[in-house]
Structure formats: structure tokens, C-alpha cells
Amino acid sequence: MNTKELDTKYVLPTYARVDVEFVSGTNATITDSNGRKYIDFTSGIGVVSVGHANARVNAAITTQISKITHTSNLYNIAPQAKAAQKIVEASGYDMQCFFGNSGAEANEGAIKIARKWGESQGEIKKYKIITLQNSFHGRTITTVKATGQEAMHNYFGPFPDGFVYADNIAQVASLLDDHTCGVMIELVQGEGGVQPQNKEEVQALEKLLKKKGILFIVDEVQTGGYRTGAFLASQVYEITPDIVTLAKGIGGGVPIGVVMTSIKNALVAGDHGSTFGGNYLSTVATCEVLDILKEYKQSGDLEINTLYFNKAVKKLYDTNKDIFTSQVGLGLMCGLRVKDAQTLTRIISHAKENGVMVLKAGRNTLRFLPPLTITQEEIDEGFKSLQSAISSL
Ligand SMILES: *Cc1c(COP(=O)(O)O)cnc(C)c1O
């Protein structure tokens, strides 16, 4: 049986897979099982931030796995401690990290931290967490309930109590009460449609939460790791959250999730844990990814490339105003709103036929999440193919 046949017979059909199988890649260029090359504007949904088969990351991983891969968290783990230091220093915040394996797990950690902190704040138990409509925080029972999308709340109840959805940032204030322990938002909603929040509104919310003694939790699973120009989108928005979560891009392809908080010793022995979280494999890769991206940012090349990419998006938008209604996003998390969902589906399929992989977000957003290290040649080629795809609709 070929891969598709095996997949159909043995794997639960939780994904509407595109029928293509990639076998190798270099930076933002990927090759399928027929030897055909494509430009990758997806980076595995914002994961392969330093490109496919990055030589430095591969060298770091192979050096590590020839020594030791896993010991459990009962012992000191050098690359975990180093990764924590790199993450905290890159953030500029005075925080401590906990390592898990995914974005959902990072958000679970954030919710546990907020709830435990909420228990310690006097007589009234603070447990409620406000999130936004159209948000996405993960697929576990708790994080799916934290996600403000009714369509994702089928079948799986009863859910943990205490999640309240605000229509938008401005509405959050009216939902806070004595039981609220935190507000959790994405600064740029990814799955919801590449929608950046308004900076002034976010800063006003931060002020309000500080005044009321409520935790500000920022889900940077998609925005983090230099995706929006700085290490964290929180830095772009010039805020100081109490809890930040990271995953996707900081591992460059290895599974990792991080929750970091300024609440010192927020969780202690017995409160939380993970078998795989922060092991040698994932954290040695993350250390290398963070070093690469820090150098890339400091050299100015990240900014140059981000501008170049966004100019190409703008040109595509300007050339096809009959199809696109607006340009959205921040940094290399960007998109174009398409006039209707049906046209978007056709663009994505034609794009693949023309040799460029793109994503959908929300109902009608064409989404670009390229490797941050994508070259200008790859950008040019990708957008040329995309224009051909659109012209052939
Ligand atoms: C992808 C994503 C998650 C979930 O991450 P997983 O690794 O799939 O569990 C959570 N929050 C945001 C903002 C995401 O983009």
C-alpha cells in the first residue's frame, strides 16, 4: 500500500489532507515524492522557522542524539536550562519557563498557573479566564474550551468551567468580575484570520488588568519566535504580560511548547510536569533555532526580508483587487482576505498545481507563514507561481 492507502486504513481522518507527500526540503523549497519542487509559504504552519533541513539545527540535533536524548525531568538537563535562559533573555522579561511538547500543552500550563495564582488571592476563588471570540488556543478539552469558536465545542463536554468569551478587546472590561483570574489573547489571531489587535486597545487592556490585579496571558504560540519582527509580538505591542506561551516556530520542527511567567515559582514540585517536555532533543534544537534567529534579527536581514515579502503580498493584492478585499497581518504572519471562501479554496488548490504551498485561515483569509529565512529568490518564485495560479482561476 502507498502512503495514502495506509493513511486511509490506519490513521484517524482528523485532517482534510491535500494529496501530496513531501520527502525533502531545503530552506523554503520542498520536494514531493514525484521529485517536483514547490515553494513553501507555510513552513508547516509556522514551525520550520529557520527553513527545512537547516544545517545548523541538524548538526546540533545529531551531535546531541549521539550522546543522550532523554533522561526524564528528575535530573538536570543542560540544554533545557540553556533554552530557558535564551528564551527569557530574548523576551527581556523577568520570567521562568516550563517546557511541554505543544502549543496546547503550553496553554494548559498557562491556565494552571493562572488558576493556582487565583486560588491564592484572598477569600474569593478567582478562576475565570476571558478569551476572545475567533481565538484559537488548542485542541485539548480545556484549551478547546478556551478557544472562542462554538463550532469546536461539539461532542466533547462537559468542559471545564470558567471560560468567558469577549467579542473583542474593548468588550473585555465589561466581563471582568471578582472571579476573574486572567485574560488570554493572541496579539495577532492566527487561525482566526491573521488578525492583529489594535495596539492602543491592547495597551489599555494591560493597564486595566494591572489596576484590577488580573493576569494578562498572551498566547504567542504562533506569533512568537520572531514571526512578527521581534522575538515576541508582546515586544512589538510594548506590553509586559504576566504569562506568555510559545511553541510552533521556536523548535524549528521538533515538538516543543513553553509557558513562561513572571510569577516566581508559580508552579512547584507536584503541581505540574511532563515526561518528554524539555528533553535534550527538543531543547538542543530550540537553543540552535534561537541562536540562528537572534543573529538573523541582529544582522537586519529579518527586517529586510519581511519588507520584501510584504511588498510581494502588496503587489499580489494590487494586481488582483477583484479577488482580494484587504491585506492583513504583522511581520511574516500575513495574509490577504479573499472575496469568498470558495475562491480561496480554488486559489489554494491552483497554487499547489503551480508549485507554491499556501494556507487558509479563518473563513476567507489566504495565509502566508513562510520560513523566516526564506530567500528573495524563493519569494520571487513563489509569488510568480501564485500570480499564475490566480490568473488561471
Ligand atoms: C497552533 C496554535 C495553538 C496550538 O498549538 P498545538 O501545538 O497544535 O497544540 C495554540 N495557540 C495558537 C495561537 C496557535 O496558533
Residues 6 or more apart whose CB falls under 8 angstroms from that of 14 comprise none
Alpha carbon 275 to its chain's center: 22
Cell of residue 49, nine digits: 522557522
Strand pairing category for 243-246 and 257-261:
antiparallel
- The sign of the CA dihedral 169, 175, 178, 183 is negative
User: Cβ < 6 Å from ligand 1: which residues?
Assistant: 102-104, 107, 136-138, 186, 190-191, 219, 221-222, 247-248
Q: Which residues of 180-208 are buried (b: 16+ CB within 10 A; e: fewer)?
A: bbbbbbbbbbbbbbbbbbeeeebeebbee
Query: How many angstroms separate the alpha carbon of residue 253 from the centre of ligand 1?
Result: 14
Per-residue pLDDT at 306:
98
* C-alpha 83 to ligand 1 mean position (Å): 20
State the distance from the centre of ligand 1 to the C-alpha of 144, rounded, in angstroms. 10
CA-proximal residue: ligand 1, atom 8 (nearest)? 103
Prediction pTM value: 0.98
Q: Which of the residues in the chain have pLDDT under 70?
A: none
- Give residues with Cβ within 8 angstroms of 345, minimum separation 6: 360
Q: Which mutation among 108, 184, 189, 191 tests ligand 1's pocket best, with the greatest number of atoms within 8 A of CB? A: 191
49 contacts 371 by C-beta, under 8 angstroms: yes
- Crossing angle, helix 55-65 and helix 280-298, to 10 degrees? 150
- Counting atoms of ligand 1 from 1, which one is nearest the CA of 186? 13
Q: Which burial class, exposed, middle or buried, applies to 339 when counting CB atoms under 10 A from its CB (0-12, 13-18, 19+)? A: middle
Residue with cell 526580508: 305
How far does residue 246's CA lie from ligand 1's centre (Å)?
Answer: 9
Closest atom, ligand 1, to C-alpha of 255: 7
**What is the reported pLDDT for 187?**
98
Instruction: Supply the residue whose CA is at minimum distance from atom 6 of ligand 1.
Output: 103
CA–centroid distance, residue 138 to ligand 1 (Å): 5
Rounded to whole angstroms, how far apart are CA atoms 2 and 308?
40
CA 144 to each of CA 277, 297, 310: distance values in angstroms, whole numbers, following the listed order: 21, 34, 32
Q: Which of 221, 232, 369 to mutate to test the pocket of ligand 1 (most atoms within 8 A of CB)?
A: 221
265-298: pLDDT as tens digits: 999 999 999 999 999 999 999 999 999 999 999 9
Q: How far is the CA of 152 from the centre of ligand 1 (A)?
A: 14
